[in-house]
Amino acid sequence: MGLSHAVHWWQEWQMRVLVLGSLFVYISLYFAYSVRMSPKLRKLRFLVWSAYVGGDALAIYALATLFNRQRQRSACGQGGGSSDLEVLWAPVLLIHLGGQTTLNAYSLEDNELWKRHAMTLVSQAKEMASTSGMLWVAVALYVFCNWWAGERQLLNAAVLLFVVGIIKFSYKPWSLKRASFNNMLASAAMLMERRVEKEGRIGWCWRWCTTYFMDIISPDKMDEFFSLTKSYPQEPSAAAAGAEGELGVDHIEKVEESDWRNVEVRDVTSLGEFVRSARWHHDRAEKSEKIKERFVFTPVSFLYKMFVNVPRPYSDRLQELKFFLLFSHSDSYKLLQECIYSTFLILYTKRRVTLTLLGVCLQLSLPFLTLTSVVLFAKSHKGGYDVNDVWVTYMLFCFTAMHEFFPFVPFYRVFRANWHEMVSQGSLMSFCACQEVTGRFIWPYHLREYVIKHWHVKQEPAARDITDRVRKHVKDGWNSYIYGPISYRGFNNLRGQWTLNKYKHKMDTTGHVSDLASSLMAPFDESVLMWHVATDLCYCKDKPMLTAAAAAAAAGGGDEGSCAIKTRQHNAYLSMKISKYMAYLLFIHPEMLPATTSQPSWRKSDNKGGVPVTKAQGIAQRVIEEDILPPPKQGDSKFSHLLIHAKKIAEALGALGADDRWQVIDGVWVEMLCFSAARCSGYLHARSLGDGGEFLNYVWLLWSAMGLETLADKIIMTEPPGDEERRKEQEEEEEAIREKERKESAARASARPEIYIDHIITEEISS
């Protein structure tokens, strides 16, 4: 009796449950993008994925069920009544199939499926009778046209919703195509060519109506769009530079420092010219005031070329460098955030469709069309309809209309946040422990990996501090390391060597220079692992001293000693954060590290018959906690040998003073971080945004914006320079170094008379 009653209830309420469930999923997905962007809500992304995949399936199943119910009722002669209201639900389900503007694709691969959605949209209506070939737009229209027997006002309300549904369903393949990598590549190529092909008036109007409004702005007109500059004196050319003297320094100095931002970027065709111009812009930017803009503008052409791995000419890179140097540290950090956030919207939402002239007009019309349908339904005659069906229809119509007003309601801004500042943190010990614990209860490997990734990774708000440190490293490189093409290429390949060279004179006395240098020559994943363990060792030893010094500095005030202690603490803090982040990348996202990086050693030992995780964990604990160096034994894995080398690195660092030790560790980690970011492809950076992004995105964009090479720039490099060209580059660099030394000597000489006069005045006063 109970089962038959449940079956009868389901037959009566099946359609209502399906459409209300589809409505709930549809409304929920509107706010799901906030979950995707927040690392703190990483655990809920499985629900977002389930809703994204299941939402379409639920709407399609509801539409198919509606089709079958109406066909059965028509065959039995039971049309009219509440079945007419069910027909009104067809356009609402079509709207649900169109998807959300804030969640167009869950992954980059979804954008490449735009052809499938386009085929669904334009399928032939004659195939409608077969369930496998159903076109859901045609099904909805077919259901409505064949079984509608209601009054005219309900007909008008349904027609308006059909217009909305067809528009939103048409949005999906269009927006997926515009966000696909092939389309982005075509847009980037068009912007790079900087030409407008001849086209008819109709084609010109269509292009302007369907082009993302940020694509319309040419990269050349970036400054004019901002109204930052009015006139552009010509940047010193190579010919003029050669006529004036060595490297054009005399000519460059003639440009006033206050006018550096007005210098027009000329065409640069060689790496040597690019380096000279970039050094000149860096030098002038340090001596001038920064522009403070309330609105931070993201150059879309910069994003296209970066994330689709398009090689950029030197002139474009110099233009982007000049633009980036206009902003202060805080504003440039906001610019990086805006770049990442804009890229997320371009790739994973319908931004490139809704922010076109045609898209804006359609978006403005949709709320009023849905609101009109609600009014028409409210004024219509509802006698003879089931009360439950009337309430379900009210809910469908009202929530659909309310949803279309969301972008225009002030509370919507509460859910709009800037890109997060979190840096993922992991450590060798925690990963080993997680492998051991989860392996006991979760045997499927991929499920175990998911649990470790989303439940055992911590987040720290350290993005701004580390980004500032990376920017300082790049500025120091332009000021003290890069003088020409040779040193420019060398700086892009550093992974700790520059830092060790700075402190080589102090480490020569300890006799551990070879251990540190050899650790940087190992494969990158092994270097990261060894320095990660060594950093933990040093921090465990220095933690009591750092804590006591911090308390003393807080009580002592702001004297010189307390400033040194704060600097040491800051270096230790940044070193630990970067170390744990690199360990996180090595374990969770090894594909984002340089191509030589293989599967981490401790993961190999868990799956391929090496040393068990428990033994590896025991070795790590003995090295870190008991401060002993276990000798390698027969059968020990490569992981054990890496721990031994890590202990040697820690001993070499321990021979230095506390301040020098943490400056070395900090410098090595910053170089390794930059080395990793520059060698990660734009596609991987773009794919990571779908999972909330990685801090490596910040470093990668900053590295490129400040004039250094990314993976795409390295791939399109021409063949290595010949002996004659290399000799010429070497001479230019040596001349640049001598010129810098002459300037420093002149500055010291000009300062000596002032010091001498002050000394004489002091003596006369004392006498």
pLDDT of residue 74: 66
Residue with tokens 């969640």: 103
How far is Cα 661 from Cα 503, in angstroms, rounded to an integer? 10
Q: Is the pLDDT of residue 296 over 90?
A: no
End-to-end CA distance of the chain: 117
- 604 class by beta-carbon count within 10 Å (0-12 exposed, 13-18 middle, 19+ buried): middle
What pTM was computed for the model?
Answer: 0.82
Residue with tokens 């809910």: 395
pLDDT of residue 131: 34
pLDDT of residue 560: 57
CA-wise closest residue to 154 among 90, 85, 106, 82: 85
How far is Cα 423 from Cα 409, in angstroms, rounded to an integer? 32
pLDDT of residue 510: 61
Question: Per-domain residue ranges for the chain?
Answer: 2-186+356-415, 423-461+493-679
How far is Cα 468 from Cα 574, in angstroms, rounded to an integer? 11
- 386 class by beta-carbon count within 10 Å (0-12 exposed, 13-18 middle, 19+ buried): middle
DSSP helix/strand/coil, 458: strand
Residue range 688-695: mean pLDDT, rounded: 90
How far is Cα 746 from Cα 212, in angstroms, rounded to an integer? 53
487-536 pLDDT, tens digit each: 999 999 999 999 999 888 877 666 667 888 888 998 899 899 999 999 98
Q: Is the pLDDT of residue 572 over 50?
A: yes
Higher pLDDT, 450 or 476: 476
- Calculate what percentage of the chain has a pLDDT beyond 90: 18
pLDDT of residue 268: 76
CA-to-CA separations, 274 to 94, 472, 718, in angstroms, rounded: 54, 21, 15
Q: Per-residue confidence at 216, pLDDT binned at 50, 70, 90?
A: low
Do 102 and 178 contact (CB within 8 A), yes or no? no
Q: Is the pLDDT of residue 191 over 70?
A: no
Torsions phi, psi of 609, nearest 5?
80, 15
Q: Is the pLDDT of residue 700 over 50?
A: yes
The number of angstroms, rounded, from the C-alpha of 299 to the middle of its chain's C-alpha atoms is 15
Tokens at 208, concatenated: 């302007």
Q: Per-residue confidence at 758, pLDDT binned at 50, 70, 90?
A: very low
Q: Per-residue confidence at 747, pLDDT binned at 50, 70, 90?
A: low
Q: What is the mean pLDDT of the chain?
A: 75
Residue range 357-376: mean pLDDT, rounded: 90
Q: Per-residue confidence at 289, pLDDT binned at 50, 70, 90?
A: low
How far is Cα 168 from Cα 30, in angstroms, rounded to an integer? 14
Q: Is the pLDDT of residue 476 over 90?
A: yes
Do 666 and 431 contact (CB within 8 A), yes or no? no
233-279 pLDDT, tens digit each: 334 444 343 333 333 334 444 444 444 455 555 677 788 888 888 88
pLDDT of residue 423: 93
Instruction: Among 90-104, 679-693, 727-741, name the one with the lowest average pLDDT.
Output: 727-741
Q: Is the pLDDT of residue 641 over 80?
A: no
451-468 pLDDT, tens digit each: 666 667 888 999 999 999
pLDDT of residue 380: 83
Instruction: Among 175-179, 479-483, 563-567, name the one with the lowest average pLDDT.
Output: 563-567
Residue with tokens 């004036």: 244
Q: Is the pLDDT of residue 750 over 70?
A: no
575-629 pLDDT, tens digit each: 999 999 999 999 888 999 986 555 554 454 444 433 444 444 455 555 555 555 5
713-738 pLDDT, tens digit each: 877 655 556 566 667 777 777 777 77
Q: Is the pLDDT of residue 480 over 70?
A: yes
Residue range 99-111: mean pLDDT, rounded: 87
DSSP helix/strand/coil, 411: helix
545-557 pLDDT, tens digit each: 878 776 766 666 5
116-147 pLDDT, tens digit each: 766 655 553 333 333 333 445 566 666 556 55
How far is Cα 187 from Cα 199, in angstroms, rounded to an integer? 17
CA-to-CA separations, 78 to 69, 74, 159, in angstroms, rounded: 10, 6, 24
For residue 423, give the H/E element and its range: strand 423-425
Torsions phi, psi of 230, nearest 5?
-115, -40
- Calculate what percentage of the chain has a pLDDT beyond 70: 64
Tokens at 613, concatenated: 């995780």
Tokens at 35, concatenated: 């979950």
How far is Cα 711 from Cα 678, in angstroms, rounded to an integer? 6
Q: Check residue 596 and give left, alpha or beta (phi > 0: left; psi -120 to 50: alpha).
A: alpha
Q: Per-residue confidence at 38, pLDDT binned at 50, 70, 90?
A: confident
Higher pLDDT, 271 or 662: 662
Residue 111: CB atoms within 10 Å? 22
User: Which spans in 481-610 are helix H?
Assistant: 485-492, 497-502, 504-507, 513-521, 524-556, 560-588, 601-607
Residue range 401-428: mean pLDDT, rounded: 75
Candidate ranges 11-25, 404-418, 426-440; pick with highest mean pLDDT: 11-25
